[in-house]
Chains A and B, each alone.
Chain A
C-alpha cells in the first residue's frame, strides 16, 4: 500500500498572550531587550501543551514532534481531549497555517472541510453558492457543472435553489453546504467535526456518504471528532493526540480504548492538595467516588451484577440546611443515559456524605462517566463539574465465556417467560 501522507517531526509553536494584542509596544519592548542584550521578554519556551499547568509560559507547543504516516485508502480518526492539538494538526495538514518545524508530505489532491459552507455569500442564490463554495474547495467549473444536479438533489432544497441563501433556514443552509462538500472528489479528505450540525436524519446521511467515500471509493479520510461512536464506525485507523504529542496510532478500536481508559478512568476523586480543590465558595467536595456496594472492598471491580454506589463527601458553606444534588450518567462517548437527583439534608460547615445507589443488573459492561451538579433548594446554581467521576463495569462471567458484548447503553435484566401448548388469539 502506498503512503498518502507522511508527517515527520512536526511541531507548531503558539505564542500566548502576545497573540491578538498585536501592538507596536510589545515589538518595541522586544527590540529594546534585544538591543540591551537581554532575554526576549515574550519568548519563554514551554515544554508541553497543557492548559491546566497554568500560565507560566508564553509559548506553547500545540504540536510537539509528531511523526506518522497514513496509507492510501485509510480512514483515520484523530481523537484527543480539547486542546490536544487535533485542530492544529488539521490546520497544518490543510495548509491553513504552517508548521514551526518538521514537514508534511502529501500525495494527491487535498480538500479540507473544517467548516461547511465556507465562503457562502448570503446575497447569492443557492445555485451560485454551489459554484462559489465548490471553487473555494478546489473544484473546477466543469466538475461542478457535471455534478450540479446530484448536489442539488442530495441537498434536498431544489425548490429554493435560485433563492438567496440569506432566506434559507439554518438547516437548509447546512444541507446545501454539506451537499457541495460531499461531492468533492479529492484523493484526501480532511474533516473536522462538521457533522455536529444538522438534524439526526441528515447526520446519518452524511455519515453514510463519508463511509462510502472511504470504503468504496478508496479515498483517504482524516476525521476529527469528539463523537467516538462516529470515529469507530467510520475509521479503521486511529491517532490519539495528548497534549500536543502523539500518544498512540493503530487500529481504531484499540486507540479509542486507550484514550478512554487514560482520560476517563477516575473512579475516586479525592481532594488531596490545595491546587486540586474541587468546589467553590458555596461548597467544598472532599471526595467523590464510585464504589462497588456489594463487595467488602468498595474499590473492587464493579461487576454487571453489583450495585453501584456514588458517594460524595462535602462541606456546605451556604446558610441553607438542604442542598439539591444531581448527576447525569453518560457513556464515555458523552451520550446521556439518564439523570437523577434529590434534595438532601446538609447542615452547613460540617462534612456530610451523600450516597446514591444504581442497582446491579441495570447498566451494561461499558465505560460511564458522571456530570455532577449542586443547587440550592430553590434551584439556583451552586456548583457543577463535568465528568467528575468515571468508571467501568465489567461482565466477568461473560468475559470468561468468550462471548461478545450485548448492545445498548444499559442492560436491564428483564423477565422472560415461555408458555408451551397455548394458542394465541392472533392465529
Chain B
C-alpha cells in the first residue's frame, strides 16, 4: 500500500474526470503570474492602438457620461444629490459604477471570447478573469485621478458652495473596491459559465447591467425622501448600495451607511463567490466540447 502511495507522488499532473469542487489550484495560477501581467498589458495596448486620442479616452468616457447625467438627472429630472455639487456626485458614481460594470460585463464573456485559445492550449482559466479585474483596477485608478482633479477644483475655487468632509472612513475604500471586484468577478464567472450552454444569458447581461445601475444609488442618494417614498427600504438590499453609499460617506460625509447592510453585502459576495468557483470549475474542464 505504501509503495503504491509513493509511486503516486511522483506524478506531476494527474488528469481525472472528477476533482474537488472548491479547488482553484491557486499555486498553479501563481506560476502563471507572468501571463497575467502580459494579458493586462495586452488589454491596454490593444484597446487604444490606432486611435487618435489613445488613453485620453479613459477620461473622455466618464466626463461625457457625467455631463449627460447632469443634464438628464440633474437639470431635467431634478433628482437631488444630497447637497453635493452635481459634477462631483455624478463623477464619483460613474467612475465606481464603470469599474463594477466593466468587471462584470467583461468576465461574463470570458469563455466565449477566449474559446479559440482555450481550445488549443491549457493554462489556468482563472488567469483571464483576473487579468480583467486588474486591467479595470488600473483604469479605475486613472479615472480616480480625474475625480481628484475635479475635487481639488471645487475645494480651492468653489469653497463657498462646497466644503470637503473627508473622513477617516475613506480608508475603507480598498475594502469597497475589493468587494466590488469580487462581486463583479463572481457574477461574471457564473454568467460566463452558463453562457457556454445557454447563449440567452449574453443578451440578459447587456441590458441587465443597465437596469442594475438604476437599482443602485449611482445617480441618486439612497437616503432621500423621494427615493424612500418610492422604493421604501427595498434598494438597501442591493449589495452594491452600501458600497456606493460608503464611498460617499468617506468623500463627502453624507452617505447612508450601516454596518448591518455592509455585512449583508459581504455575505452575499461570499456566497456568490463560492457558487462561482463551483460553477467555473465545473465548466472550465469541458466547456470546449459545448461551446
A residues contacting B by CB (< 8 A) are 6, 14, 19-20, 22-24, 91-110, 112, 114-115, 118-119, 121, 123-124, 128, 131-132, 135-141, 164
Cβ–Cβ < 8 Å partners of A94 in chain B: 121-122
- Please name 25 pairs of A and B residues whose Cβ atoms are closer than 8 Å in the assembled complex, sorted by A: A14-B289, A19-B289, A20-B290, A24-B198, A94-B122, A95-B122, A104-B13, A104-B14, A105-B11, A106-B11, A107-B11, A112-B122, A114-B119, A114-B121, A118-B117, A118-B121, A123-B46, A128-B42, A135-B32, A135-B34, A135-B38, A138-B32, A138-B123, A141-B38, A164-B49
**Given A98-B15, A119-B117, 13 additional A-B pairs, CB 8 A:** A19-B289, A24-B198, A92-B15, A93-B15, A96-B119, A96-B121, A102-B16, A114-B120, A119-B121, A128-B41, A136-B117, A141-B37, A141-B38
Cβ–Cβ < 8 Å partners of A132 in chain B: 38-39, 42
Would you call B226 an interface residue if the criterion is a C-beta within 8 Å of the partner chain's C-beta atoms?
no
Would you call B78 an interface residue if the criterion is a C-beta within 8 Å of the partner chain's C-beta atoms?
no
Known contacts A135-B32, A138-B32; is A99 also within 8 Å of B122 by CB?
A: no
Among the interface residues B11, B15, B123, which one has the most CB atoms of the partner chain A within 10 A? Answer: B15
Interface of chain A, helix or strand or loop or mixed? loop
Among the interface residues B32, B120, B198, B199, which one has the most CB atoms of the partner chain A within 10 A? Answer: B120
* A105 and B35 contacting across the interface, CB-CB below 8 Å: no
* B17 and A100 contacting across the interface, CB-CB below 8 Å: yes
* B34 and A124 contacting across the interface, CB-CB below 8 Å: no
Compute how far the CA of A241 lies from the CA of B232 in the bound complex, rounded to whole angstroms: 67
Compute how far the CA of A98 lies from the CA of B289 in the bound complex, rounded to whole angstroms: 10
Compute how far the CA of A22 lies from the CA of B118 in the bound complex, rounded to whole angstroms: 19
Would you call B165 an interface residue if the criterion is a C-beta within 8 Å of the partner chain's C-beta atoms?
no
From residue A43, how far is it (CB to closest CB) to chain B in Å?
Answer: 15
From residue A4, how far is it (CB to closest CB) to chain B in Å?
Answer: 10
A-B contact count (CB 8 A): 114
Known contacts A22-B198, A118-B120; is A97 also within 8 Å of B12 by CB?
A: no
Compute how far the CA of A131 lies from the CA of B15 in the bound complex, rounded to whole angstroms: 28
* A99 and B42 contacting across the interface, CB-CB below 8 Å: no
* B15 and A109 contacting across the interface, CB-CB below 8 Å: no
* A95 and B46 contacting across the interface, CB-CB below 8 Å: no
Cβ–Cβ < 8 Å partners of B117 in chain A: 118-119, 136
Please name the residue on chain B nearest to A94 by beta carbon.
B122
Compute how far the CA of A140 lies from the CA of B39 in the bound complex, rounded to whole angstroms: 14
* B15 and A99 contacting across the interface, CB-CB below 8 Å: yes
Those of B274-290 within 8 Å (CB) of chain A: 285-286, 288-290
User: Which of A24, A123, A141 sits near B45, CB closer than 8 Å?
Assistant: A123
Compute how far the CA of A105 lies from the CA of B14 in the bound complex, rounded to whole angstroms: 4
* B46 and A108 contacting across the interface, CB-CB below 8 Å: no
User: Which of A14, A121, A137, A138 sits near B46, CB closer than 8 Å?
Assistant: A121
